[in-house]
Amino acid sequence: MAMSLIGIVLGIAFFVITQAQTSGFEAFFIRTILGTNGAIKISDRFQDMDGTVSKVSKDGNFQFFFRSREEAQYTEGIRFPDEIRNALASYQDITGISEVLEGTAELAGSSRSFPVIFQGIRYHDHSQVSELNNQLIAGAIVDFAKDPMSILVGNRIAERLMLKIGDRIVMKGGTGTLQLRIAGVFETGVSQIDKKRIYIHLSTARQFKGERFAGSFFQLALDNPDKAPELAAQIQYHLGHRSVSWQEREKVWLDVFKALRISSAITVSSILLLSGLGIFNVFAIMVIEKTRDIAILRSMGFSRFDASAVFLWQGLIILFLGVLLGSFFGFLSTYFISEIPLRIRGIFSTDSFVVNWDVFHYLWAISLASVFVVIATWVPARRAGKIQPAKIIRETL
């Protein structure tokens, strides 16, 4: 029985630990991508709205559904940004709107050049839809804000071109060349961004690119990022521009995290299942061993429920101790794991294990343990309650 209790304790603890880790990394990844690319991206204009989005009225509530976009026609960029901005301002869930002009260029340092993707932004707007402020690891954001010919570069670009704050750098491509001053170096942790992206002022980007609208998009921040798919569908329907939520944009990674989380939950649940089987075996044997005692107790006036209750109580005590100790060890272990140094760069940036403190991890672990223990206890307990005293006593004599 002690082994079964240990199994329940470890099962709950491991469940909490693995869920804290997997969901921790997932939550951190989501924070990173929301802080980098925003919750919704509004880009190209549609030409055949009917083929892509449909609106259905259900009990007075409208719901929006996507169909295939494969046949949709797009016009690159946002042609009337001011009108779109005004329309977006009417959505209460949107907390930030940033107009961005994106394009490709080549950065030329003192000794080598490097291809980059530039994003022209208005700093004030963009700070409301990203964590750019917090992602800055060198330089000052105010220097960027006040100088239209300044530039923020990803840390991997800065490393490759050996750039320092205040250095002058030439951006080639588009309508010609621009000489820009390094105002800051940022690190998002997403390697594809850190080694490709630079930020310049929107006006400078327009001047550099020569095209006013091609490559332009809006990046939005939401009050509740979970509402992004629904809102993106509405925006796409109403404004006729392609709107992509962060969930759709990062579907691959989110699916990977989800699969990882479920997989670890299933794996760890097997510990609880095995412990449940252990408890079942112990109780089943105990019922067989105690059949005579149960029959005697029944002859003394103990009811069927009394006979079952002996086992149910033992099961509940095991469950209670398992939940208490398992949750405690899970909590403690999660804390110690969060202190373990671990440098990760690529999809996000962290220097230690990322954990997510969520009461639902405990509730899930407790629920699973409860289901296994209750079933493992209930079946033998029911059998104990069904013992026929006369038959058992007759067979014993």
Partner 1 sequence: MKHPPLLQAKNLKYSFNETGTSTHVLNDVSIELFPGEITSIVGPSGCGKSTLLYLLGLLDRPDSGEISLNEKDVLKCDDKKRTILRNHKLGFVFQFHFLIKELSVLDNVALPMRKAGKSKTASYEKARDVLGKLGLLDKSNRFPHKLSGGEQQRVAIARAIINSPSLILADEPTGNLDTENSKKVHSVLSKLAIEENISVLIVTHNLELAQSCDRVIKMRDGRIIE
Alpha-helical regions (H) of the chain: 2-37, 81-89, 123-127, 132-135, 141-146, 155-161, 191-194, 202-209, 228-239, 246-249, 251-289, 291-300, 304-338, 359-385, 389-396
| Tokens found for residue 229 | 């798919």
Among residues 56, 252, 301, 339, the one that binds partner 1 under rule CB under 8 A: 301
Provide the sign of the torsion angle of the four alpha carbons 287, 290, 295, 301, taken in this order: negative
Told to check if 292 binds partner 1 by CB under 8 A, we report yes
Among residues 304, 325, 344, 357, the one that binds partner 1 under rule CB under 8 A: 304
Q: What is the Cα–Cα distance from 154 to 160, expressed in whole angstroms?
A: 10
Among residues 254, 274, 296, 371, the one that binds partner 1 under rule CB under 8 A: 296
What angle, rounded to 10 degrees, do the helices at 304-338 and 359-385 form? 160
- Distance of closest approach, residue 310 Cβ to partner 1, in angstroms: 11
- Distance of closest approach, residue 343 Cβ to partner 1, in angstroms: 58
Told to check if 395 binds partner 1 by CB under 8 A, we report no
241 with 42: CB under 8 angstroms?
yes
Residue (60 or 301) nearer to partner 1, CB: 301
Q: If you ran DSSP here, which 8-state letter would residue 173 be given?
A: E
Told to check if 388 binds partner 1 by CB under 8 A, we report yes
Among residues 74, 91, 213, 302, the one that binds partner 1 under rule CB under 8 A: 302
Told to check if 215 binds partner 1 by CB under 8 A, we report no
Q: What is the Cα–Cα distance from 161 to 231, expressed in whole angstroms?
A: 41
Choices 127-135, 139-147, 204-212, 295-303; region in contact with partner 1 by CB under 8 A: 295-303
Name the CA dihedral angle for 232, 235, 236, 239, rounded to a multiple of 10 degrees.
-160
Among residues 100, 183, 239, 297, the one that binds partner 1 under rule CB under 8 A: 297
Choices 88-96, 97-105, 195-203, 292-300; region in contact with partner 1 by CB under 8 A: 292-300
Told to check if 248 binds partner 1 by CB under 8 A, we report no
339 burial class (0-12, 13-18, 19+ CB within 10 angstroms)?
Answer: exposed
| Tokens found for residue 5 | 């209790």
What 333-340 contacts at long range (C-beta under 8 Å, 24+ apart), as own/partner pairs, is: 333/13, 333/16, 333/17, 334/16, 334/17, 334/20, 334/21, 337/17, 337/20, 337/21, 338/24
Choices 52-60, 61-69, 212-220, 298-306; region in contact with partner 1 by CB under 8 A: 298-306
Q: What x-and-dash track marks residues 335-374 binding partner 1 by CB under 8 A?
A: ----------------------------------------
- Distance of closest approach, residue 274 Cβ to partner 1, in angstroms: 28
Size of the site for partner 1 (CB under 8 A): 20
Residue (192 or 396) nearer to partner 1, CB: 396
Q: What is the Cα–Cα distance from 308 to 70, expressed in whole angstroms?
A: 63
- Distance of closest approach, residue 322 Cβ to partner 1, in angstroms: 24
- Distance of closest approach, residue 393 Cβ to partner 1, in angstroms: 7
Among residues 156, 242, 298, 383, the one that binds partner 1 under rule CB under 8 A: 298
Among residues 134, 303, 352, 367, the one that binds partner 1 under rule CB under 8 A: 303
Spacing of C-alpha 254 from chain mean position: 7
Binding-site ranges for partner 1 (CB under 8 A): 292-293, 296-304, 306, 388-391, 393-394, 396-397
